[in-house]
Amino acid sequence: MSAKAAHVIIVAGAGPAGMAVAGTLAKAGHEVIILNRDIKFGGLAEYGIFPSKLKLRGGLKKQYWELLEQQNVHYFGNVSIGKGKDLSVEDLRNLGASAVVYSIGAQGTKAIGVEGDTAAGVFHAKDVVYHFNRLPGFGDRPFDVGRHVAVIGAGDVMVDIAHWLTRYKKVERVTAIVRRGPAERKYNPKEIRAVCSNMDVDDITKEVERIKDRLIAVGQKPDEILKGLLGEFTKCEPKNSDAKMSFKFLASPKRILVDGNNRVRGLEMEDNKLEPKGEDTAAVGLKQFYEFPCDSVVFAVGDKVDETVGLPYKSGVFVTNPVKTNNDPDDALFQAYDDSTGKVLDGVFLAGWARKASEGLVGVAKRDGDWCAEVVGRYLLTKPAPGNPKSVVEKLQATLRERKSHPVGVKGLRVLEAAEKAQQAKDDCIGEFKFATNQDMIRLVEQG
């Protein structure tokens, strides 16, 4: 990608998608301003990957440091965007940048939508993941899960939560509740190695036997499916607890059952059958209900974007341009769009989970950022470059001072990094030590 002259681009969000956008545009010679809600960069790479995956996290962190230390990249951590926050969407548009890219993730909580979902012991997967990754606001929050935890979902997030529950919380049992069957499980077989030493093989075998007739009815072969499922339980991480993990297939939670203290005591579940849906299958309820006892429930069913940000929003997503052109039919996918006026928000783009919530993990988010950067690059070729790129940075700094915000730059991040490394040897944590509150981090940065 090439450009006629240097532009200023604001990238809101410093996760894998935002850093990919920033990296490509900075390499093309543009001035890039990165605004990040969190003090630390990384987003999903910092607060979404299981904390013991040090090699993956370390590789990403190295790349991000190299980007942030470039002269044409300006990082402002601890700057939130939205209504009543440090900066509004309108503030960003008024700073004078040539383009603004929102890669702020999916920070809203998808409604669970079953009776009893406000009971004590009901959690959203994102909150749990943020907790064991020590995201400020979540890291020091107590999670009282009891002895038997039901996790709704069959993807990699479910596996990460089961990993934390079995290895670190040392619960007695984890049951993954799956709407469809074992053939439709979504997790990566390599990820299941983290928990497969705790698998209750006898219980899983009985569970497949229980539903075999419903599998056969859609042409599936239960014996082969069971063999394939159990065959993935290889190269397991060493067992360090007596926790048992199993599955409940073809089951949909219909109601959360509570005791007299509004505390989870179980789930009312509906049996499902499978019906063909093109080349895939769909779960269809059988109107047959039963109680499933458990002490807590974690819903790992995806996320939605935060509608309070101020971007055009509809049905859990920020709205993108529905009108595709013949020249660049894919560019519309990344353009913010106001469907109340029928117009594109000129120079405003979306990337990563802000564009498509809960779609893939780090690699998918990075590719989405790369793709978005190409779209922005084509857009910039049609626009005159500003006379003084530095003026946008200066205007931003003045606005943040006026708002009495506390932005953290690269120098502050280095102070924080040194403090966390010094604390590492003193703390019994999963993976790398992290300060769990913004107050602690700001205090260290300001002292440094």
Tokens at 218, concatenated: 């859609």
d(CA 257, CA 265): 6
Phi, psi of 4 (to 5 degrees): -70, -35
Last residue of a domain, one of 263, 278, 299: 299
CA distances from 89 to 181, 227, 359, 406 (A): 43, 53, 24, 19
88 and 54 in a common domain: yes
Question: Is 351 domain-assigned?
Answer: yes
Question: Is 385 domain-assigned?
Answer: yes
User: pLDDT per residue over 321-378, tens digit each?
Assistant: 998 766 666 789 999 999 999 999 999 999 999 999 888 778 999 999 999 999 999 9
282 and 149 in a common domain: yes
271 and 154 in a common domain: yes
241 and 258 in a common domain: yes
Q: How crowded is the C-beta side of 406, counted as CA atoms within 13 Å?
A: 12
290 and 148 in a common domain: yes
Return the pLDDT at 112: 72
Question: Is 439 domain-assigned?
Answer: no
Return the pLDDT at 327: 62
288 and 321 in a common domain: no
Return the pLDDT at 188: 93
CATH for 321: 3.40.50.720
Question: Is 380 domain-assigned?
Answer: yes
Instruction: Count the Cβ atoms, other than its own, within 10 Å of residue 276.
Output: 11
356 and 292 in a common domain: no
How far does the chain reach from its first CA to its final CA, in angstroms? 39
Return the pLDDT at 331: 87
With helix as H, strand as E and coil as C, how does the chain read? CCCCCCCEEEEECCCHHHHHHHHHHHHCCCEEEEEECCCCCCCHHHHCCCCCCHHHHHHHHHHHHHHHCCCCEEEEECCCECCCCCECHHHHHCCCCCEEEECCCCCECCCCCCECCCCECEEEHHHHHHHHCCCCCCCCCCCCCCCEEEEECCCHHHHHHHHHHHHHHCCCEEEEECCCCHHHCCCCCCHHHHCHHHECHHHHHHHHHHCHHHHHCCCCCHHHHHHHHHHCCCCCCCCCCCCEEEEECCEEEEEEEECCCCEEEEEEEEEEEEEEECCEEEEEEEEEEEEEECCEEEECCCCECCHHHCCCEECCEECECCCCCCCCCCHHHHEEEECCCCEEEEEEEECHHHCCCCCCCHHHHHHHHHHHHHHHHHHHCCCCCCCCCHHHHHHHHHHHHHCCCCCECHHHHHHHHHHHHHHHCCCCCCCCCCCCCHHHHHHHHHHC
312 and 163 in a common domain: no
Last residue of a domain, one of 272, 299, 326: 299
Question: Is 426 domain-assigned?
Answer: no
172 and 101 in a common domain: no
Question: Is 359 domain-assigned?
Answer: yes
150 and 284 in a common domain: yes
Q: Look up the domain containing 168 and give its range.
A: 122-299
Nearest in space to 328 (alpha carbons), one of 308, 341, 311, 344? 344
Phi, psi of 235 (to 5 degrees): 55, 40
Return the pLDDT at 2: 42
Question: Is 400 domain-assigned?
Answer: yes
Return the pLDDT at 3: 41
346 and 234 in a common domain: no
Question: Is 414 domain-assigned?
Answer: no
Structurally, the chain folds into a number of domains equal to 2
pTM over 0.75: yes
187 and 287 in a common domain: yes
Last residue of a domain, one of 266, 299, 332: 299
CATH for 234: 3.50.50.60
Low-confidence stretches of the chain (pLDDT < 50) are 1-3
